[in-house]
Amino acid sequence: MTTSRDHPHQTRGRPEGRRRRRRRAATGVLAALVAAGSALPATPAHAVNATHATVVSADPANWTPHALDGTVYRILQIGNRVYLAGSFTKVRNANNTAQLAMPRLVAFDATTGRIDTTFRPVVNGTVKALAASADGRSLYIGGAFTTVNGVAAPRVARLDVATGARVAGFAPAALNNQVNDMRLVGGRLIVGGAFQTVAGVTRRGLAALNATTGAADPTVNLRLEGPRVTTSGVTAPVKVEALDVSADGSRLVFVGNFSSVAGQPRHQLAVAGLTAAGVTLSGWTTTRYQPQCAASMPTYLRGVDISPDGSWFVAVTTGAAFPGTLCDAASRFEFGAETGGKQPTWVNYTGGDTLLSVAITGSAVYVGGHQRWLDNPLGRNSAGAGAVSRPGIGAIHPVTGRALAWNPTKDRGVGTGELYATDRGLFVGSDTTMVAGEYHARVAFFPLP
Protein backbone atom coordinates (compact mmCIF):
# COMPACT_ATOMS: atom_id res chain seq x y z
CA MET A 1 0.00 0.00 0.00
CA THR A 2 1.24 3.45 -0.67
CA THR A 3 1.69 6.26 1.78
CA SER A 4 0.24 9.71 1.43
CA ARG A 5 0.49 12.83 3.51
CA ASP A 6 -2.55 14.80 4.63
CA HIS A 7 -1.24 16.18 7.92
CA PRO A 8 2.31 14.80 8.19
CA HIS A 9 3.98 15.29 11.54
CA GLN A 10 6.98 14.31 13.54
CA THR A 11 10.09 12.34 12.79
CA ARG A 12 10.70 9.48 10.44
CA GLY A 13 11.05 5.78 11.17
CA ARG A 14 9.09 2.59 11.29
CA PRO A 15 8.54 -0.13 13.79
CA GLU A 16 8.54 -3.86 13.67
CA GLY A 17 8.86 -6.56 11.16
CA ARG A 18 5.63 -8.24 10.42
CA ARG A 19 4.17 -10.98 8.42
CA ARG A 20 1.58 -9.22 6.54
CA ARG A 21 -1.63 -10.39 5.09
CA ARG A 22 -0.26 -13.33 3.32
CA ARG A 23 -0.33 -15.15 6.60
CA ARG A 24 -1.68 -18.35 7.86
CA ALA A 25 -5.16 -19.32 7.04
CA ALA A 26 -7.36 -19.80 10.07
CA THR A 27 -9.08 -23.13 10.51
CA GLY A 28 -11.23 -22.44 13.52
CA VAL A 29 -12.77 -19.07 12.75
CA LEU A 30 -13.91 -16.43 15.19
CA ALA A 31 -16.57 -17.21 17.72
CA ALA A 32 -18.59 -14.09 18.33
CA LEU A 33 -15.97 -12.36 16.15
CA VAL A 34 -13.48 -12.08 18.99
CA ALA A 35 -12.42 -15.58 19.94
CA ALA A 36 -9.33 -16.77 18.10
CA GLY A 37 -9.06 -19.76 15.81
CA SER A 38 -6.03 -21.90 15.08
CA ALA A 39 -3.58 -21.24 12.26
CA LEU A 40 -2.32 -23.41 9.48
CA PRO A 41 1.30 -23.47 8.31
CA ALA A 42 3.14 -20.19 7.81
CA THR A 43 3.57 -20.33 4.05
CA PRO A 44 0.24 -20.92 2.31
CA ALA A 45 -0.43 -19.83 -1.25
CA HIS A 46 -2.91 -17.32 0.13
CA ALA A 47 -3.69 -16.39 3.69
CA VAL A 48 -4.82 -13.83 6.20
CA ASN A 49 -3.39 -12.44 9.42
CA ALA A 50 -2.92 -14.96 12.23
CA THR A 51 -5.72 -15.14 14.76
CA HIS A 52 -4.94 -14.07 18.32
CA ALA A 53 -6.91 -14.86 21.45
CA THR A 54 -5.86 -11.57 23.01
CA VAL A 55 -4.34 -8.22 22.17
CA VAL A 56 -0.55 -8.17 21.83
CA SER A 57 1.72 -6.68 24.49
CA ALA A 58 2.36 -2.94 24.41
CA ASP A 59 6.05 -3.58 25.12
CA PRO A 60 7.98 -4.25 21.87
CA ALA A 61 10.63 -6.97 21.73
CA ASN A 62 14.22 -5.80 22.13
CA TRP A 63 15.74 -8.08 19.47
CA THR A 64 14.41 -6.69 16.19
CA PRO A 65 16.99 -5.21 13.80
CA HIS A 66 16.94 -1.60 12.64
CA ALA A 67 16.51 -0.13 9.15
CA LEU A 68 18.57 3.04 9.27
CA ASP A 69 17.00 5.06 6.46
CA GLY A 70 14.05 5.07 4.08
CA THR A 71 10.88 3.13 4.83
CA VAL A 72 9.90 -0.47 5.57
CA TYR A 73 6.85 -1.10 3.38
CA ARG A 74 6.34 -4.85 3.78
CA ILE A 75 7.07 -7.68 6.19
CA LEU A 76 6.67 -11.40 5.58
CA GLN A 77 7.62 -14.48 7.62
CA ILE A 78 8.55 -17.74 5.89
CA GLY A 79 9.56 -20.52 8.28
CA ASN A 80 11.92 -18.96 10.81
CA ARG A 81 12.98 -16.09 8.54
CA VAL A 82 11.37 -12.67 8.49
CA TYR A 83 11.78 -10.52 5.37
CA LEU A 84 11.72 -6.72 5.34
CA ALA A 85 11.08 -4.87 2.08
CA GLY A 86 11.21 -1.17 1.38
CA SER A 87 13.34 1.78 0.31
CA PHE A 88 15.99 1.50 3.04
CA THR A 89 19.66 1.02 2.14
CA LYS A 90 21.34 0.31 5.51
CA VAL A 91 20.46 -1.97 8.42
CA ARG A 92 22.01 -3.09 11.69
CA ASN A 93 21.40 -5.68 14.35
CA ALA A 94 19.94 -4.75 17.72
CA ASN A 95 22.61 -3.89 20.32
CA ASN A 96 25.25 -3.54 17.61
CA THR A 97 26.70 -0.42 16.00
CA ALA A 98 27.97 -2.04 12.79
CA GLN A 99 26.01 -0.83 9.76
CA LEU A 100 25.33 -3.27 6.93
CA ALA A 101 24.71 -2.11 3.36
CA MET A 102 21.75 -4.36 2.50
CA PRO A 103 19.36 -2.24 0.46
CA ARG A 104 15.63 -2.73 -0.02
CA LEU A 105 15.30 -6.39 0.98
CA VAL A 106 16.74 -8.13 4.04
CA ALA A 107 16.07 -11.30 6.05
CA PHE A 108 16.49 -11.92 9.76
CA ASP A 109 15.94 -14.75 12.24
CA ALA A 110 12.39 -14.73 13.61
CA THR A 111 13.60 -15.83 17.06
CA THR A 112 16.83 -13.90 17.62
CA GLY A 113 16.39 -11.00 15.21
CA ARG A 114 19.89 -11.50 13.77
CA ILE A 115 20.24 -10.31 10.20
CA ASP A 116 20.96 -13.11 7.72
CA THR A 117 23.99 -11.94 5.72
CA THR A 118 23.77 -14.92 3.34
CA PHE A 119 20.54 -13.55 1.86
CA ARG A 120 21.93 -10.87 -0.47
CA PRO A 121 19.75 -10.05 -3.47
CA VAL A 122 20.67 -6.89 -5.37
CA VAL A 123 17.48 -4.98 -6.20
CA ASN A 124 17.81 -1.63 -8.02
CA GLY A 125 14.61 -0.01 -6.73
CA THR A 126 12.07 0.07 -3.94
CA VAL A 127 10.38 -3.20 -2.96
CA LYS A 128 6.73 -2.74 -1.91
CA ALA A 129 5.17 -6.21 -2.05
CA LEU A 130 6.04 -9.74 -0.86
CA ALA A 131 4.43 -13.16 -1.21
CA ALA A 132 5.60 -16.64 -0.18
CA SER A 133 5.66 -19.52 -2.63
CA ALA A 134 3.40 -22.47 -1.83
CA ASP A 135 6.32 -24.65 -0.73
CA GLY A 136 8.05 -21.92 1.30
CA ARG A 137 11.30 -22.23 -0.67
CA SER A 138 11.02 -19.01 -2.59
CA LEU A 139 9.35 -15.63 -2.37
CA TYR A 140 7.93 -13.22 -4.88
CA ILE A 141 8.78 -9.54 -4.71
CA GLY A 142 7.12 -6.56 -6.37
CA GLY A 143 7.85 -2.86 -6.49
CA ALA A 144 9.45 -0.11 -8.55
CA PHE A 145 12.64 -2.01 -9.44
CA THR A 146 13.65 -3.04 -12.96
CA THR A 147 16.61 -5.37 -12.29
CA VAL A 148 17.41 -8.01 -9.69
CA ASN A 149 20.92 -9.43 -9.35
CA GLY A 150 21.87 -7.57 -12.50
CA VAL A 151 19.20 -9.19 -14.68
CA ALA A 152 16.06 -7.51 -16.03
CA ALA A 153 13.10 -7.97 -13.67
CA PRO A 154 10.42 -5.41 -14.57
CA ARG A 155 8.76 -4.84 -11.17
CA VAL A 156 8.31 -8.54 -10.23
CA ALA A 157 10.83 -11.28 -9.37
CA ARG A 158 11.02 -14.68 -7.66
CA LEU A 159 13.93 -15.35 -5.28
CA ASP A 160 15.37 -18.25 -3.31
CA VAL A 161 14.49 -17.68 0.37
CA ALA A 162 17.97 -18.65 1.60
CA THR A 163 20.27 -16.84 -0.80
CA GLY A 164 18.25 -14.26 -2.72
CA ALA A 165 19.23 -15.85 -6.03
CA ARG A 166 16.70 -15.66 -8.83
CA VAL A 167 14.60 -18.80 -9.27
CA ALA A 168 15.28 -20.42 -12.63
CA GLY A 169 12.38 -20.53 -15.07
CA PHE A 170 10.52 -17.51 -13.68
CA ALA A 171 10.68 -14.76 -16.31
CA PRO A 172 8.01 -12.20 -15.43
CA ALA A 173 6.02 -10.38 -18.06
CA ALA A 174 7.03 -6.72 -18.14
CA LEU A 175 4.90 -4.30 -16.12
CA ASN A 176 5.30 -0.66 -17.14
CA ASN A 177 4.98 0.80 -13.64
CA GLN A 178 5.30 -0.21 -10.02
CA VAL A 179 3.59 -2.98 -8.05
CA ASN A 180 2.08 -1.97 -4.70
CA ASP A 181 0.68 -5.29 -3.43
CA MET A 182 0.45 -8.97 -4.36
CA ARG A 183 -1.08 -12.29 -3.31
CA LEU A 184 -0.38 -15.84 -4.46
CA VAL A 185 -3.58 -17.80 -5.10
CA GLY A 186 -3.09 -21.29 -6.48
CA GLY A 187 -1.06 -20.97 -9.67
CA ARG A 188 -1.67 -17.23 -10.03
CA LEU A 189 0.31 -14.33 -8.63
CA ILE A 190 -2.21 -11.50 -8.39
CA VAL A 191 -0.58 -8.07 -8.49
CA GLY A 192 -1.94 -4.59 -7.96
CA GLY A 193 -0.19 -1.30 -8.62
CA ALA A 194 0.23 1.73 -10.84
CA PHE A 195 1.05 -0.20 -14.04
CA GLN A 196 -1.07 0.28 -17.15
CA THR A 197 0.26 -2.56 -19.29
CA VAL A 198 1.52 -6.12 -18.79
CA ALA A 199 3.67 -7.56 -21.59
CA GLY A 200 2.52 -4.60 -23.70
CA VAL A 201 -1.17 -5.44 -23.25
CA THR A 202 -3.50 -3.07 -21.38
CA ARG A 203 -4.06 -4.23 -17.80
CA ARG A 204 -4.60 -1.14 -15.66
CA GLY A 205 -3.83 -1.52 -11.96
CA LEU A 206 -4.71 -5.22 -11.53
CA ALA A 207 -3.35 -8.32 -13.25
CA ALA A 208 -2.03 -11.82 -12.68
CA LEU A 209 1.11 -13.71 -13.62
CA ASN A 210 1.66 -17.43 -13.88
CA ALA A 211 3.29 -18.35 -10.56
CA THR A 212 5.72 -20.78 -12.21
CA THR A 213 6.74 -19.04 -15.43
CA GLY A 214 5.88 -15.39 -14.78
CA ALA A 215 3.89 -15.18 -18.01
CA ALA A 216 0.86 -12.91 -18.10
CA ASP A 217 -2.32 -14.73 -17.06
CA PRO A 218 -5.22 -13.58 -19.28
CA THR A 219 -7.89 -14.95 -16.92
CA VAL A 220 -7.55 -11.92 -14.62
CA ASN A 221 -8.82 -8.91 -16.55
CA LEU A 222 -11.35 -6.80 -14.70
CA ARG A 223 -10.83 -3.67 -16.85
CA LEU A 224 -10.28 -0.99 -14.23
CA GLU A 225 -11.17 2.40 -15.71
CA GLY A 226 -12.20 5.91 -14.75
CA PRO A 227 -9.41 7.65 -12.85
CA ARG A 228 -11.04 9.97 -10.36
CA VAL A 229 -10.81 13.76 -10.70
CA THR A 230 -11.31 16.18 -7.82
CA THR A 231 -13.30 19.41 -8.08
CA SER A 232 -9.98 21.25 -8.30
CA GLY A 233 -8.97 19.13 -11.31
CA VAL A 234 -6.42 16.89 -9.62
CA THR A 235 -6.22 13.38 -11.07
CA ALA A 236 -3.84 10.42 -11.32
CA PRO A 237 -3.63 7.23 -13.39
CA VAL A 238 -5.78 4.21 -12.60
CA LYS A 239 -4.06 2.15 -9.90
CA VAL A 240 -4.56 -0.32 -7.08
CA GLU A 241 -3.17 0.79 -3.72
CA ALA A 242 -3.82 -2.43 -1.78
CA LEU A 243 -5.58 -5.77 -2.09
CA ASP A 244 -6.38 -8.85 -0.03
CA VAL A 245 -7.63 -12.39 -0.64
CA SER A 246 -9.77 -14.44 1.74
CA ALA A 247 -8.20 -17.45 3.45
CA ASP A 248 -10.11 -19.89 1.26
CA GLY A 249 -8.92 -18.13 -1.90
CA SER A 250 -12.44 -17.45 -3.16
CA ARG A 251 -12.72 -13.70 -2.69
CA LEU A 252 -10.60 -10.69 -3.68
CA VAL A 253 -11.04 -7.13 -2.44
CA PHE A 254 -8.99 -4.25 -3.82
CA VAL A 255 -8.84 -0.47 -3.38
CA GLY A 256 -7.39 2.35 -5.44
CA ASN A 257 -7.97 5.01 -8.09
CA PHE A 258 -10.82 3.83 -10.30
CA SER A 259 -14.54 4.44 -10.74
CA SER A 260 -15.38 1.53 -13.04
CA VAL A 261 -14.58 -2.20 -12.94
CA ALA A 262 -15.63 -4.62 -15.68
CA GLY A 263 -17.87 -1.87 -17.05
CA GLN A 264 -19.75 -1.43 -13.76
CA PRO A 265 -19.58 1.53 -11.32
CA ARG A 266 -17.14 0.82 -8.51
CA HIS A 267 -15.75 3.79 -6.61
CA GLN A 268 -12.27 3.13 -5.18
CA LEU A 269 -13.24 -0.30 -3.77
CA ALA A 270 -14.36 -3.50 -5.47
CA VAL A 271 -14.98 -7.14 -4.57
CA ALA A 272 -14.44 -10.04 -6.97
CA GLY A 273 -14.81 -13.81 -6.92
CA LEU A 274 -11.85 -16.09 -7.68
CA THR A 275 -12.19 -19.51 -9.32
CA ALA A 276 -9.92 -21.81 -11.30
CA ALA A 277 -11.37 -20.27 -14.44
CA GLY A 278 -10.48 -16.71 -13.48
CA VAL A 279 -11.90 -13.68 -11.70
CA THR A 280 -15.46 -12.30 -11.80
CA LEU A 281 -16.70 -8.98 -10.49
CA SER A 282 -19.04 -9.41 -7.52
CA GLY A 283 -22.39 -7.66 -7.22
CA TRP A 284 -21.21 -6.34 -3.82
CA THR A 285 -21.04 -2.55 -4.03
CA THR A 286 -20.90 0.54 -1.86
CA THR A 287 -21.15 4.20 -2.84
CA ARG A 288 -19.57 5.41 0.40
CA TYR A 289 -16.23 6.03 -1.30
CA GLN A 290 -17.72 7.99 -4.20
CA PRO A 291 -17.64 11.44 -2.48
CA GLN A 292 -14.52 13.55 -2.67
CA CYS A 293 -12.29 14.12 0.36
CA ALA A 294 -9.40 16.62 0.11
CA ALA A 295 -9.28 18.48 -3.20
CA SER A 296 -5.67 17.36 -3.65
CA MET A 297 -6.52 13.62 -3.42
CA PRO A 298 -8.45 11.95 -6.24
CA THR A 299 -8.19 8.65 -4.35
CA TYR A 300 -8.03 8.26 -0.59
CA LEU A 301 -8.30 4.54 0.22
CA ARG A 302 -4.95 3.26 1.48
CA GLY A 303 -5.30 -0.21 3.03
CA VAL A 304 -7.66 -3.18 3.33
CA ASP A 305 -7.65 -6.47 5.27
CA ILE A 306 -10.08 -9.40 5.30
CA SER A 307 -10.99 -11.05 8.60
CA PRO A 308 -9.57 -14.52 9.33
CA ASP A 309 -12.99 -16.11 8.84
CA GLY A 310 -13.48 -14.35 5.51
CA SER A 311 -16.86 -12.80 6.36
CA TRP A 312 -15.89 -9.13 6.68
CA PHE A 313 -13.12 -6.64 6.01
CA VAL A 314 -11.83 -3.25 7.13
CA ALA A 315 -10.69 -0.44 4.82
CA VAL A 316 -8.64 2.56 5.96
CA THR A 317 -8.36 6.00 4.40
CA THR A 318 -6.61 9.34 4.20
CA GLY A 319 -8.24 12.53 2.90
CA ALA A 320 -8.76 14.93 5.85
CA ALA A 321 -11.93 15.27 7.94
CA PHE A 322 -15.18 15.87 6.04
CA PRO A 323 -18.48 15.27 7.87
CA GLY A 324 -20.61 12.47 6.45
CA THR A 325 -17.74 10.84 4.53
CA LEU A 326 -15.39 7.94 5.33
CA CYS A 327 -12.28 10.12 5.03
CA ASP A 328 -9.49 9.62 7.62
CA ALA A 329 -11.23 6.59 9.08
CA ALA A 330 -11.29 2.82 9.52
CA SER A 331 -14.55 1.21 8.34
CA ARG A 332 -15.80 -2.35 8.78
CA PHE A 333 -17.94 -3.88 6.02
CA GLU A 334 -19.65 -7.30 5.93
CA PHE A 335 -19.42 -9.27 2.70
CA GLY A 336 -22.87 -10.89 3.09
CA ALA A 337 -25.11 -11.04 0.05
CA GLU A 338 -23.61 -9.84 -3.23
CA THR A 339 -25.83 -6.79 -3.50
CA GLY A 340 -25.48 -3.03 -3.76
CA GLY A 341 -25.84 -0.19 -1.28
CA LYS A 342 -23.56 -1.64 1.38
CA GLN A 343 -23.01 0.46 4.50
CA PRO A 344 -20.26 0.09 7.10
CA THR A 345 -21.02 -1.84 10.30
CA TRP A 346 -18.95 0.69 12.16
CA VAL A 347 -16.60 3.60 11.45
CA ASN A 348 -13.77 4.83 13.66
CA TYR A 349 -12.58 8.33 12.77
CA THR A 350 -9.18 9.86 13.46
CA GLY A 351 -10.47 13.42 13.20
CA GLY A 352 -8.19 14.52 10.38
CA ASP A 353 -5.18 12.20 10.13
CA THR A 354 -4.23 9.47 7.64
CA LEU A 355 -4.57 5.75 8.24
CA LEU A 356 -2.36 3.65 5.95
CA SER A 357 -2.52 0.07 7.23
CA VAL A 358 -4.82 -2.44 8.92
CA ALA A 359 -4.51 -5.98 10.27
CA ILE A 360 -7.39 -8.05 11.69
CA THR A 361 -6.43 -10.73 14.21
CA GLY A 362 -9.81 -11.65 15.69
CA SER A 363 -9.24 -10.04 19.07
CA ALA A 364 -8.39 -6.67 17.52
CA VAL A 365 -8.36 -4.58 14.38
CA TYR A 366 -4.93 -2.92 14.40
CA VAL A 367 -4.60 0.32 12.43
CA GLY A 368 -1.56 2.41 11.61
CA GLY A 369 -0.79 5.72 9.98
CA HIS A 370 0.22 9.12 11.27
CA GLN A 371 -2.94 9.54 13.28
CA ARG A 372 -3.06 11.30 16.63
CA TRP A 373 -6.43 10.02 17.80
CA LEU A 374 -9.12 7.36 17.42
CA ASP A 375 -12.80 7.58 18.48
CA ASN A 376 -12.76 11.10 17.08
CA PRO A 377 -15.80 11.70 14.80
CA LEU A 378 -16.19 15.27 16.03
CA GLY A 379 -12.55 16.26 15.65
CA ARG A 380 -11.45 18.45 12.75
CA ASN A 381 -7.68 18.29 12.98
CA SER A 382 -8.28 18.40 16.72
CA ALA A 383 -9.38 16.16 19.57
CA GLY A 384 -13.16 16.24 19.65
CA ALA A 385 -15.39 15.00 22.47
CA GLY A 386 -14.55 11.39 23.34
CA ALA A 387 -11.31 11.25 21.33
CA VAL A 388 -8.52 9.04 22.67
CA SER A 389 -4.82 9.54 21.99
CA ARG A 390 -3.38 6.78 19.77
CA PRO A 391 -0.31 8.24 18.02
CA GLY A 392 0.85 6.26 15.00
CA ILE A 393 -0.76 2.96 15.92
CA GLY A 394 -3.89 1.73 17.68
CA ALA A 395 -6.31 -1.14 18.12
CA ILE A 396 -10.08 -1.22 17.59
CA HIS A 397 -12.60 -3.68 19.02
CA PRO A 398 -13.79 -5.78 16.07
CA VAL A 399 -17.45 -5.78 17.18
CA THR A 400 -18.03 -2.37 18.76
CA GLY A 401 -15.67 -0.38 16.56
CA ARG A 402 -14.35 1.51 19.59
CA ALA A 403 -10.69 1.95 20.41
CA LEU A 404 -9.19 -0.68 22.72
CA ALA A 405 -6.96 0.31 25.63
CA TRP A 406 -3.79 -0.85 23.81
CA ASN A 407 -1.67 2.26 23.29
CA PRO A 408 2.09 1.65 22.97
CA THR A 409 2.52 4.92 20.98
CA LYS A 410 5.02 5.58 18.22
CA ASP A 411 6.36 8.62 16.47
CA ARG A 412 4.24 9.43 13.50
CA GLY A 413 6.27 10.53 10.46
CA VAL A 414 4.58 9.71 7.17
CA GLY A 415 3.08 6.80 9.06
CA THR A 416 2.83 3.14 9.91
CA GLY A 417 2.41 1.56 6.50
CA GLU A 418 2.65 -2.11 7.46
CA LEU A 419 0.96 -4.27 10.08
CA TYR A 420 1.63 -8.01 9.94
CA ALA A 421 0.42 -10.56 12.51
CA THR A 422 2.10 -13.91 13.07
CA ASP A 423 1.17 -16.59 15.59
CA ARG A 424 3.66 -15.00 18.00
CA GLY A 425 2.59 -11.37 17.75
CA LEU A 426 2.41 -8.28 15.56
CA PHE A 427 5.12 -6.79 13.33
CA VAL A 428 5.00 -3.09 12.46
CA GLY A 429 6.85 -1.30 9.66
CA SER A 430 7.17 2.41 8.97
CA ASP A 431 9.49 5.35 8.35
CA THR A 432 10.09 6.31 12.00
CA THR A 433 12.40 5.28 14.83
CA MET A 434 10.61 5.44 18.20
CA VAL A 435 8.07 2.90 19.47
CA ALA A 436 6.77 2.80 23.06
CA GLY A 437 9.45 5.33 23.95
CA GLU A 438 12.23 3.01 22.72
CA TYR A 439 14.47 3.07 19.64
CA HIS A 440 13.10 0.65 17.05
CA ALA A 441 14.10 1.99 13.66
CA ARG A 442 11.40 1.31 11.07
CA VAL A 443 10.54 -2.15 12.35
CA ALA A 444 9.22 -3.43 15.67
CA PHE A 445 7.52 -6.53 17.04
CA PHE A 446 4.83 -6.69 19.73
CA PRO A 447 4.72 -10.22 21.18
CA LEU A 448 1.62 -11.91 22.49
CA PRO A 449 1.55 -11.81 26.32
State how far the alpha carbon of 284 is from the alpha carbons of 91, 311, 332, in Å: 44, 13, 14
pLDDT for 16 equals: 33
For position 195, what pLDDT does the model report?
98
pLDDT for position 37: 30
CATH level 3 topology of 66-439: Methylamine Dehydrogenase; Chain H (2.130.10)
Q: Is residue 255 within 8 Å of 243, Cβ to Cβ?
A: yes
**pLDDT at 7 (0 to 100):** 33
pLDDT at position 238, please? Answer: 98
Range list of β-strands (E), 186-300 = 188-193, 197-198, 201-202, 206-210, 224-225, 239-245, 251-257, 260-261, 264-265, 269-275, 278-281
How confident is the model at residue 40, as a pLDDT?
28
What is the pLDDT averaged over residues 396-407? 98
pLDDT of residue 48: 75
* Per-domain boundaries in the chain: 66-439
Q: DSSP letter at 286?
A: -
Q: What pLDDT digit, counting tens, does each position of 356-393 carry?
A: 999 999 999 999 999 999 999 999 999 999 999 999 99
Q: What is the pTM of this model?
A: 0.90
- For 15, 47, 243, the CA distances from 182, given in Å and listed in that order, are 22, 12, 7
Q: What is the mean pLDDT of residues 419-432?
A: 98
Between 177 and 38, whose confidence is greater?
Answer: 177
Give 21's pLDDT tier (boundaries 50, 70, 90): very low
The percent of residues above 90 in pLDDT, for the chain, comes to 89
Q: Can you tell me the distance from the alpha carbon of 209 to that of 196, in angstroms, rounded to the nearest whole number?
A: 15
Burial state string for 160-185 with b = 16 or more CB within 10 A and e = fewer than 16: bbeebebbeebebbbbebbbbbbbbb
What integer is the mean pLDDT of 92-99?
A: 97
Task: Determine the length of the chain.
Answer: 449
Range with lowest mean pLDDT among 9-13, 17-21, 383-387: 9-13
The residue-averaged pLDDT of 105-126 equals: 98
What is the rounded CA–CA span in Å between residue 51 and residue 36?
Answer: 5
Q: Which pLDDT score is estimated for 157?
A: 98
Cα-based angle 69, 72, 73 (whole degrees, multiple of 5)? 140
Q: What is the mean pLDDT of the chain?
A: 91
The C-alpha atoms of residue 245 and residue 22 are separated, in whole angstroms, by 8
* Mean of pLDDT values over 268-288: 97
What proportion of the chain, given as a percentage, has pLDDT over 70? 90
Neighbours of 204 (CB within 10 A): 26
pLDDT in tens, 136-187: 999 999 999 999 999 999 999 999 999 999 999 999 999 999 999 999 999 9
